[in-house]
Amino acid sequence: MTATGAEPAKTFEPGAIWPDDHGVHINAHGGGILLHKGAYYWCGEHKIEGGAGNVAQVGVHVYSSRDLYQWHDEGIALKVADDPASEITRECVMERPKVLYNEPTGKFVMWFHLELKGRGYGWARSGMAVADTVTGPYRYLGSVRPNAGVWPDNVPEEFRKPLTPAEKETLSKTSLPGGPVPHFPQELIFRRDFEGGQMARDMTLFQDDDGKAYHIYSSEENGTLHISQLSADFLKPAGKYVRVFPGRFNEAPALFKHGGTYYLITSGCTGWAPNAARLAVAESILGPWRELGNPCEGPEAQRRITFDSQSTFVLPAPGRKNAYIFMADRWRPGNAIDGRYVWLPVQFKDGKPFLAWMDRWDLGLFKE
């Protein structure tokens, strides 16, 4: 029995209310999970009731668990600031926080998508915060538009130059609303942003077996994903990055590695409304990446909207080989706090990952 008298959870119920150890629905949206010293730490966006919950009123919430079913409320890891002059003042946009442990410095490093209060999604930066303990408190360090002054690795020499006045003119006449456009100006936006740094909206972090960490973010007005290596202390870009799928408008990136192969699950760009997930594969994290289509199986009505959810993270399952949990959000923009979590097992058919709906499941499913 828990403190609330309820039976402790031993299963995952995608889309249901997920009570924490106080019986309160878990409040960690767009989050990620870090395994540290045998415990799991889930950091995500704390939402409040109503439409007001779509911007950051509180900060990043953290929970801990040993079994992934029962979650202990560890409170707010990173608080919004009271100071109206702060970049992270209350009512800024603080989305998709992810935390890594940096072995060399012994620090926990958090990255998240940051937009200034009242300015929509135009700022397109990543914020960084650091803590000595995994649950925080995290100290805000600042924000970045990654890779200022650095050309992407996978761009030919001929495009490594500033925009000409004619190209600037073309771009100023192109409408870029943050979603698919008929003729995405593929070779213009990263060049426009070369000096000031690349746009970074939806994002995730991924640490590879060799210890190197990567920041994966929707860039170029959401048109192109960038995969960017982080510095050894994980606090800034290392100055090495690639462009992935220019003009495909991927967001909500979630990356995992299985048997030496890298997989990337993303969504299209339709705001809070769900759309069809996309799967991609690569033998090296810096590419080349190849699209494999929609990983969801089942009725078309569900495949089309990823079971009414949008990807946020893929977690290797505890103590099991080749077992991964797809974590997604079922957003409720009308009452943000009521957003639900859709966790599904990543299953494999002929070596290819797929996702199928389950009303209820547990980690026993991964036993071969």
Contact residue for ligand GAL among 18, 27, 30, 235 (CB under 6 A)? 30
Q: Using CB under 6 A, which residues numbered 200 to 219 contact ligand GAL? A: 202
Cis peptide, bond prior to residue 288, ω within 30 of zero:
yes
Whether cis (ω within 30° of 0) applies to the bond prior to 274 is no
Q: Which of residues 309-348 bind ligand GAL (CB under 6 A)?
A: 310
Cβ of residue 328: shortest distance to ligand GAL, in angstroms?
11
Spatial separation of the C-alpha atoms in residues 39 and 116, rounded to whole Å: 33
How far CA 197 is from CA of 51, 64, 151, 189, 344, in Å, comes to 31, 35, 10, 11, 36
Q: Which amino acid is at 66?
A: R
Among 20, 74, 220, 251, binds ligand GAL (CB under 6 A): 251
272 touches ligand GAL (CB under 6 A)? yes
Asked if 269 and 222 count as a contact pair (C-beta separation under 8 A), the reply is yes
CA distances (Å), origin 332, targets 50, 272, 336: 9, 8, 5
Asked if 115 interacts with ligand GAL (CB under 6 A), we say no
| Binding status of residue 248 toward ligand GAL by CB under 6 A | no
* Closest approach of ligand GAL to the CB of residue 202, in Å: 5
CA distance linking residue 106 with residue 329, whole number of Å:
31
Closer residue to ligand GAL, CB minimum distance, 138 or 249: 249
Q: How many residues bind ligand GAL (CB under 6 A)?
A: 10
Distances (CA, A) of 182 to 141, 156, 176, 177, 249: 38, 24, 10, 12, 11
Binding ligand GAL by CB under 6 A: which of 75, 118, 162, 271? 271
Stretches 227-235, 256-264, 268-276, 355-363: which one binds ligand GAL (CB under 6 A)? 268-276
- As beta bridge partners, residue 5 has none
Q: In angstroms, give the least distance from the CB of 144 to ligand GAL.
A: 18
Instruction: Figure out which of the listed residues 96, 98, 191, 303 binds ligand GAL, where binding follows CB under 6 A.
Output: 96
Residues of the shown chain interacting with ligand GAL in the complex, contacts defined by CB under 6 A: 30, 95-96, 202, 251-252, 269, 271-272, 310
